[in-house]
Amino acid sequence: MRKEIVDISAGGILLLFSVAGFLMANQLGNGQPYGPDFFPKLILALLAIASVFLVTGAAFRMRQEAGPSPTQFDRAAIGKILALIVVLIAYILLFSVTGFIISTILFLLVAQWIFGIRKILLLGTVSIVVPVVLYIVFTMAFKIPLP
C-alpha cells in the first residue's frame, strides 16, 4: 500500500509540473510548427502521459488489494518531498544568479543528500560531471547557449 501512495503522490506532482511547464513553454512559440517550444512541449507531454500511467497503475493496484487497510503516511518520505520542493525553488532562484553549472552542482549535491546518498566520491562525481557534460552537449552539439 505504501508504494502505491508514493506512486500516486509522485505522479500527481509530476503531472502538475508538466502542465505548468507546458503552459510556460507556450510563451516560447513563434508560430512555426517546430519552433523553440516544440522540444519542451514534447518532453512535458511525455512526462504528463507517464505521470497519468503511474497514477492509474498505482490506483489500480490499490483497488486490487484485499481488505480495507488504513492509509499511513511515512513522515520521512513526506519530509524528503517537502525538502526537495524547497531545494527546487532555491535552484530556480539561484539559477539566474549563478548560472547553470554552479546552481546545478549545488542542487544535485543537496538533492542526493536528501535522498540518502552519503558516499562523498559519488556525490561529488555525479554533481560535477552531469552539469558539465550537459553544458558541453547543449552548447557544442546542439548550439544552444546555457546561462
The residues, ordered by sequence, that sit 6+ positions from 59 with a Cβ below 8 Å of its Cβ are 4, 8
CB 100 within 8 A of CB 130: no
Q: Which residues contact 53 (CB under 8 A, 6 or more apart)?
A: none
How high is the pLDDT of residue 67?
A: 53
CA dist 100 and 39 (Å) reads: 19
Cβ contact 35:29 at 8 Å: yes
Phi-psi region of 143 (alpha: psi -120 to 50; beta: other; left: phi over 0): left
Residue % of the chain over a pLDDT of 90: 39
If one compares 142 and 51, the residue with the highest pLDDT of the two is 51
- Residue 49's pLDDT is 93
Q: Each residue of 58-79: pLDDT tens digit?
A: 888 887 775 555 556 678 888 8
Supply the DSSP string of 131-147, one letter for each residue. Answer: HHHHHHIIIIIS-----
pLDDT at 146: 79
pTM for the full predicted model: 0.56
The conformation of residue 74, written as its DSSP 8-state character, comes to: -
8 Å CB contact between 61 and 18: no
Residue-wise pLDDT for 79-132, tens only, equals 888 998 999 999 989 988 998 999 999 999 999 999 888 999 999 999 999 999
Neighbours of 18 (CB within 10 A): 20
Report residue 30's pLDDT band, with 50, 70 and 90 as the boundaries.
confident
The x, y and z cell numbers of residue 107, run together, are 542542487
**How high is the pLDDT of residue 141?**
86
- Cα–Cα distance for residue pair 42/29, rounded to 1 Å: 13
